[in-house]
Chain A
Amino acid sequence: MSGSGDSTPTPSRAQTEPEFVEIKRRLGTLRYATDSPEHAHITIKPEICARCPHSFCTYVCPAQCYQRIEGKLLFRYEDCVECGACAIACDQGSVTWNFPRGPYGVRYAFG
């Protein structure tokens, strides 16, 4: 089933959605097949994340898969759009980046 579209609101520069709503809105247009957790396609090393000076991963991920919550780095692979930004952002050696096993992961229907 294709993702539910959302109509563009009447253009209004004054109206800005909170960032997390906007992200959920657009992630909602995507279709995923989620592999089981033991086959998570990206892994992190928490002991390295604990010492990370920048946490760039939390900024670059377009799907907000990386979050710092109460000092701990949490990563969820389910929303990943497989762009590779975190592979570049992590220069600490924590992120191991791969594509999901075919045909899991994000799948595009229209573009």
Chain B
Amino acid sequence: MSERFDAIVVGAGFAGSVAAIQLAKGGANVLLVEQGTSADRKSLGGGWLFGDDLSEVLPGWEKEMPLERHLLEQRLVFLDEDSSVSFDFRDPTWDSSPHNATGVLRSKTDPWLLTKTRDAGVHLASGTAVERLSTDSNGSVKGVELKGQSYAADVTVLACGSSSSLLSVPLHGVKEPAKVIPAGAGTDPGVFEVYRLDAHSINERFGLREDEGMALQAILGFLPGGVSALGSMITHREVLSISLCLKGLAPDDEDSEAQAVLTAFREHPSIAPYLVAGTRVERGEQRIPTQGPFRRRLFGPGFLVCGDAGGFVLRDGLVLRGFNYAIRSGRLAAETALEAIRAKDAGATQLGKYRKKLGQAGVLAEFSRNDSGLEKFLWSPRFHQSYPHVLTELMHQIMTENGLPKKSIVQTLREVRRATKTSRRALANDALDVGGLV
């Protein structure tokens, strides 16, 4: 027996939950399928929710949602072999509500989002994985199959994350013939570890008051050539999370390198003291989309793609952001689907309006950064490997007392440049890359 819905949403993370709620609010009969449950979750991660994106879909979220600390301090740390140079920015204006950024841990937010979908009247099938998409002879998506049964819908919204095999099946696009994308294609390895540490210790260690939080982004400058990593440490209420996003690992190196990099990060003399007496309670690995939404299929006859599944993760050499784009793309996918349902037309042209909405909402503009000179610079070996060394060498020379008369800063800079083999041309090129943007 097949059941018919207006829309089926696959995946109840930020993108899927938002899409489902928005669809239900618009009067659609929605089925939301999620492979995990509130108690046994498949989602992993935490980070920051910037601004107020959720209020369109869930007004009052900031009071109801289980949230962590709000961001007060942003640190950028260049890690050399043993030493480090940090930049620290604290902004007390971020203390007042609405906060610039609010901390989230998916162990708390995802179960809450599930209850909100039920409150909105969404039919929720949790603890169930979609086995495959149902397509007709033209390759149009007609619904999903799960537990051996078919469920039909006018529009299927895929919010199935970065590693789903659902997008692997040949799907017909507007102009291109069927294209098979392997599960997890266009992703890099990501690791997320959780350390339990009581709130008082966190406050003392980081100089924070009750609800204040710190985000630390680290450039790991000591990695072998060609490998870059963006390391992150975040203070949550009673937990510290450490995460890494790795780039440039050769496939025959990948896992052992990833392990070694995380251990090196965790044990770095500038990082390790923050973890003392912390108890590691969890560690997981998931894949992080790297190519942005432009190289992914975002829509087709009968389907729309949002969240990580659509590559809506902003990742350059300094930041890793996904929650806000998951929310925005989920909301816009729902809007597009509602229009298609009302028009009784779920063809590719109708659903193609999704792309236009994303453009108009400014979502796509943020991702054009991914291919820009700035992105290249921020992932470049020079930024990730040379600069940390140059900075620490510079500070070491300036600040270390060796009984000899101090040289001028210009002289020190020259010597450091020579010692670290950084050519004037290289510095000039960097200045042009970055300077050309401002």
Contact = CB atoms under 8 A, between A and B. Distances in A.
A100 B146 CA distance: 12
Contacts of A75: none
A42 to B, nearest CB: 10
Give the interface size class of chain B.
Answer: 35 or more
Given A10-B276, A97-B165, A102-B35, A89 B42 contact: no
Contact of A60 (B36, B194, B255): B255
Interface string A92-111: 00000111111101111111
B438 interface: no
A107 B285 contact: no
A101 B259 CA distance: 28
A6 B272 CA distance: 15
Contacts of A103: 35-37, 40, 126-128
B267 A98 contact: no
Interface string B154-174: 000000001111000000000
B287 A106 contact: no
26 contacts: A3-B281, A3-B282, A5-B279, A5-B280, A5-B281, A7-B277, A8-B280, A11-B267, A11-B276, A31-B40, A54-B252, A59-B251, A59-B252, A59-B253, A81-B285, A82-B42, A84-B187, A84-B287, A85-B255, A85-B287, A88-B184, A99-B164, A102-B35, A103-B37, A107-B41, A111-B107
Contacts of A7: 277-280
A52 interface: no
A51 interface: no
Contact of A88 (B36, B185, B259): B185
Interface of A: 2-3, 5-8, 10-13, 16, 19, 22-23, 26, 29-31, 33, 54, 56, 59-64, 81-85, 87-89, 97-103, 105-111
Contacts of A85: 184, 189, 254-255, 285, 287
B183 A97 contact: yes
Contacts of A102: 34-37, 126-129
Contact of A6 (B39, B164, B241, B279): B279
Given A22-B263, A83-B287, A87-B184, A108 B282 contact: yes
Interface string B262-290: 01001101001101111111111111000
Contacts of B287: 83-85
A85 B285 CA distance: 10
Nearest to B258: A62
A17 B142 CA distance: 51
Nearest to B282: A110
A96 B41 CA distance: 23
Nearest to B272: A11
A109 B282 contact: yes
A106 B255 contact: no
Given A22-B259, A85-B184, A106-B42, A5 B267 contact: no
A64 B285 CA distance: 12
A82 B183 CA distance: 11
B257 to A, nearest CB: 9
Contacts, number: 179
Contact of A108 (B41, B183, B196, B275): B41
Nearest to A87: B183
A64 to B, nearest CB: 8
B411 to A, nearest CB: 33
Contacts of A23: 259
A90 B37 CA distance: 30
B241 A11 contact: no
Which of A2, A3, A107 has the most B CB atoms < 10 Å from its CB?
A107
Contacts of A108: 41-44, 106-107, 282, 284
A41 B386 CA distance: 44
Contacts of B276: 8, 10-11
B192 A111 contact: yes
A31 B251 CA distance: 27
Which of A85, A88, A111 has the most B CB atoms < 10 Å from its CB?
A111
B35 A99 contact: yes
Given A10-B276, A62-B255, 18 more contacts: A8-B195, A8-B277, A8-B278, A8-B280, A22-B259, A56-B251, A61-B255, A83-B287, A88-B183, A88-B185, A88-B187, A97-B165, A103-B37, A103-B127, A107-B39, A108-B41, A110-B282, A111-B45
Given A6-B280, A84-B287, A103-B127, A59 B40 contact: no
In the A-B complex, the 6 residue pairs with the closest CB atoms: A84-B184, A84-B163, A11-B272, A103-B127, A107-B40, A5-B279
Contacts of A82: 42, 163
Nearest to A23: B259
Contacts of B42: 82, 99, 105-108
Given A8-B275, A62-B255, A107-B40, A30 B263 contact: no
A110 B192 CA distance: 10
